Structure 1
Amino acid sequence: MSNPRAAFCERFGLDLPVIQAPMIGPKPALAPAVSAAGGLGSIACAALTPDGVRAEVERLRALTDRPYALNFFAHARAAPDPEREAGWKRRLAAYYAEFGLDPDSVAPGPERAPFDAAMAELVTALRPPVVSFHFGLPEEGLLARVREAGCRILGCATTVAEARWLAERGVDAVIAQGVEAGGHRGLFLSDDIGRQVGTMALVPQVVDAVDLPVIAAGGIADARGAAAAFALGAAAVQVGTAYLLCEEAGLSAAHRAALAESGDSDTALTTVFTGRPARGILNRAMRELGPISPDAPAFPRAAAALQPLRAAAEAQGSGAFTPLWSGQAAALARPCTAAELTRTLASGAERLR
C-alpha cells in the first residue's frame, strides 16, 4: 500500500509532511525556520505589497534553500458601503469615548488585497515552489500564470463541494480546513458558517472525493492530532495555532498570554474584526459586538474602525480589541522552537501510528 505522506513529500520536495499555516502577524523568522527543519514554511502575502513579498522571500532565501509557500487571498473585492461603514462607527462610538479617541480621525484600515496581475507578475519573477490560495482561486488567466511559473498550487476547502471545485480547476493538493481552525474560514461556495464541517469528519470525505493529496488543517496542535489526520488518509498536516507559541513567531505579549490561558471552549467564529468569519479567542470586542455582527462592514472594511481601539487597548497591555486568532486546540500547544515543533509533529505521529 502506498504511503501518501512519502509521496507528498517527494512531490513537494519536503522531508516532513508538515505545513506551517500562513498567518498575518507572526514575524518573518517563522517561515524559514519551518522550511529549514524540513517542513513547508508559508508567507502570508494578502497584507503585503509586491515589494513587501519580495523582501520576505529574499529574507527567507538568505536563511534556507528549502521549499516554501506564498499564500494569497482570492476573494472578490467588496464595493464601498459608506452608509454601513458610518453605522459601524456609530456602533463603536461609546468605545471611542471611553479611550478618548476621535471617531472622525479613523484612517483607512489594513488592506487585504486579492491576488491580482501585479502579484502574478511577482510570482512569475520569483517562481516560488508552492503558491496557496484562501477563499477559492483567482480567475483562470491569473491562475495559468502561476502554473506557467512552475509553482505547485494548493487550494483551501471547507466542504467536500469546495474540494471538488478546486480539483476540477487543477490544484495540486487540497487543504481540508475543519471548523476547529483558527483565523479566517476559507469558505467560498457558501457563507453559511452553521454548516461548516469538523476536521476529522471532513478529511476522510475529501480523501474519498478527490484524487489528490489532502492536507488536514484545524485543531491539530500535537503529534496525536497529526497521527489521527494521517490515519484518515491525509498526506500532510497544516498547523497554525501551535506555531504561534514558537519563539520565532514573535507574538505580542497579550496574544501569547491569551493562548496560554485558552481552553477548549474559549474560541468562537466572529466577523467583528474583518467582516468575514474567523476563529479567535473570545475577548471584549467579540462578546460585546458579536461574535457575529450584522453591523460589521464587508471584508476587510470592518477592520479600519477597530484599529484605533486596538492600538489604544494594546498600549495599556490589553487584547480587548485585538483579533486573537486561535484554533480550538490552543491548550495542546507548548512553547518551543519552530524546528522542534515541526519535527515532533512528524516523528511523534509516526510513532503513534
Structure 2
Amino acid sequence: MWNNNEVTRRLNIKYPIIQAGMAGGPTTPELVAAVSNAGGLGTLGAGYMTADQMKKSIKKIKRLTEKPFGVNLFVPQHADRDTEKVEASNRLLWPIRQTLHLMTPSVEIKSENEQFEQQIQVIIDEKITACTFTFGVPERKMLHQLKHQHIITIGTATTVREAEICENLGFDMVVVQGSEAGGHRGSFAVPYEQAMIGTISLVPQTVDHVSIPVIAAGGIMDGRGVLAALVLGAEAVQMGTAFVTCDECGAQKLHKESILNSSEDETTVTSAFSGKPARGIRNQFIDSLKPYEKSLPDYPVQNALTKDIRSEAAKNHRPEWMSMWSGQSTRLSKKGSASQLIHSIVAEIEDFYLHI
C-alpha cells in the first residue's frame, strides 16, 4: 500500500501527509487536531511561542484529538542588533506607521536560547510524538535528549548537504524544502540564493545521498503532488499553503483570500518583513522595501520592527502591508475543512492506483 512505509509506521499515522508547522497563528489547535484526526500528522507551529503558550496549545490539542501530532520549533538565531540598520529600517517604515497611527517601537531582542530550552522541556514533558526543527540544527545533546524520550526528530534542509548534516547529527527524518515552498526558507549551511532548488530536483538527489526517510515539501497541494513525491523517493510530504485556506486555519481572512485569488507568478522571496528570506504574495510593502533589503536588520530584529505594522494592517484590512506567506501552487488552493482536503488527496491517490 502507498501509505505503509517507515514514516507512517514510526509516526503511527494512517497517511504520509504532514501539515507544516506554520508559526504566528495559522496552526491553531483546531487545525492540528483536524489533520491528525483525518489520518495525517498535525503540527503546532510554536516558533514564536513561549513555553507556557506552547503548553496551553498542546493541552487544547490533546482535548481535541487522541492521535499523534508534532510541534515545530525555530533553532535559535544570533541576534545582531545593528543600530544603523535599525534606524534605516525605521525611516523606511515611518510613512506606513503614520498611516496606521503607530509609534516607532523600542526593540529589545532577548536571547532565544533559554526559551528554546524551555520549549524542548515542554515537548518532553508532554510526550509529543514528533519535534520538527527549522532555521538550522540544534545541539546534538538536545537531539539525544529527545530521542532518549522516544520523540521522533525531524530536521529541515534545502540542499543535499544540509540533509546530510541532519542525518549525521542523528535526526530520524528530514524535510527537504523545495524553492516552491511558502514561508521562511530553512537554509542554514549556505546562503539561501544557493539553495533555491526545486522540489522535483531536490527530492531524488537527497534520497540518493541519505539513508533516513525524506519528506518532500514545496508546491504540493493535491494527490498528484503526493504521488509525484512518493515516486521520486520521498516517504511522506509536508504541506503548508494547502492548509492555510482550510476552515480551521488561523490565518487572516485577507491572507486566505489572497492565496485563493492569486496565480503562480504572484509570489516572491523577500526578507523585508522579518530579515530572513521567505516566500509570500507580492504586495506594496515587499516592492517598496526591495531596493533596501541588504541594508535591513537581520532576523529576528526586522521581524520585531514590522510586527505591529503587520498586525495593524490586518485589523485595518490593508493587505498591501501584510505578510501573506504562500507557495507557488496558489491556483490549486481550495476552501474547505482540513479533513476534506486530506480525504480528497487520498481519494485522488487511490483512484490513480485503481486505474493502473
TM-score under structure 2 length normalisation? 0.92
Amino acid in the other structure paired with 2:261: E
| Equivalent position of 1:56 in the other structure | 57
2:210 aligned partner, one-letter code: V
Distance 1:291 1:248, change over 3 A: farther
Offset from partner CA, 1:22-75 (integer Å, 9 cap, x none): 112213210010011110000011111111111111111111111111111114
Matched, 1:320 2:316: no
Q: Please give the secondary structure, in 2, of the residue aligned with 1:249.
A: coil
Q: Is the 8 A contact 2:29 2:58 kept in 1?
A: no
Shift of 1:298: 0.9
- Counterpart contact for 2:3–2:15, Cα < 8 Å: no
| Residue 340 (str. 1) matches residue 337 (str. 2) | no
**What do residues 168-219 of structure 1 show as CA deviations (whole Å, max 9, x unaligned)?**
1111111111000000111000124244200011011111111121111000
Partner residue in 1 for 2:90: 89
Identity %: 34
Aligned with 2:230: secondary structure? helix
Deviation at 1:271, TM superposition (A): 0.2
The alpha-carbon deviation at position 101 of structure 1 amounts to: 3.4
Which structure 2 residues correspond to residues 1-353 of structure 1 after superposition, within 5 A?
A: 5-24=4-23, 25-26=25-26, 27-103=28-104, 106-108=105-107, 113=112, 116-290=116-290, 293-353=293-353
Which blocks of at least 5 consecutive residues in structure 2 are unaligned?
none
Q: Which moved more, 1:180-189 or 1:297-306?
A: 297-306
* Cα deviation, residue 295, structure 1: 2.2
Report if the CA contact (8 A) 1:275-1:296 is conserved.
yes
1:15–1:291 Cα change, 3 Å: farther
Bigger drift between 160-169 and 77-86 goes to: 77-86
Is the 8 Å Cα contact of residues 271 and 291 (structure 1) preserved in structure 2? no
Q: What residue identity is the alignment partner of 2:186?
A: G
Q: Report if the CA contact (8 A) 2:158-2:195 is conserved.
A: no
**Distance in 1 between residues matched to 2:111 and 2:322, nearest whole Å:** 17
| 1:254 partner letter | L
Residues of 1 paired with 2:30 and 2:292: CA distance? 33
Distance 1:280 1:226 in 2: 22
Q: Residues 29 and 85 of structure 1: is their aligned pair in 2 closer, same or farther, counting only changes over 3 Å?
A: same
Q: Is the 8 A contact 2:279 2:327 kept in 1?
A: yes
1:348/1:303 CA distance change after superposition, 3 Å = same
Question: Displacement, 1:82?
Answer: 2.2
Distance 1:119 1:313, change over 3 A: closer
* Gap runs ≥5 in structure 1: none
In 2, the alpha carbon distance for the partners of 1:73 and 1:250 equals: 19
When structure 1 is superposed on structure 2, of 134-143 and 255-264 the one drifting more is 134-143
Q: Which moved more, 1:135-144 or 1:167-176?
A: 135-144
- Distance, in Å, in 2 between the alignment partners of 1:59 and 1:342 is 22
Letter in 2 for 1:12: L
SS of match in other structure, 1:70: strand
